[in-house]
Structure 1
Amino acid sequence: MSFDLFTGIVRDFRASRKVASEIARLNHLSEAQLADLGLERCDITSHAFNRHFKRR
């Protein structure tokens, strides 16, 4: 059980780094580029979390 907890923590840490990276990448895009992706600037954070943290 402790191994499962540890692997879960590592998995979540990796996912959180991916979220941060994606948020930074998307924040550098223009409004037009975000629109091409079907996003508005206010959607960036939730989009990144939903992509890297599957709803459990």
Structure 2
Amino acid sequence: VRLSKREEDYKKGKILDSENKEYATKLLIEFMHDFGKKYKKAQKQVDKLFKD
């Protein structure tokens, strides 16, 4: 929902291209950080399964 609203504002000229890039970069960094945490947790669980 947040992104579609931003896209509408961008098309209307309310948001600058640089602001859009900054926002998208922020979202991507948050996503990758969260993904990294989940990946590490999953890796630990897999390691426990195949420990023997």
Aligning the two structures, in what range does the TM-score lie when normalised by the shorter sequence? 0.5 to 0.7
Look up the match of 1:28: 48
Task: Note the residue ranges of structure 2 that are not aligned, 5 or more in a row.
Answer: 1-20
Runs of 4+ in 1 over 3 A off after TM superposition: none
**How many correspondences in the alignment?**
32
What is the TM-score when the length of structure 1 is the normalising length?
A: 0.52
The unaligned stretches of length 5 or more in structure 1 are: 32-56
- CA RMSD between the two structures: 1.7
Give the helix-richer structure, 1 or 2: 2
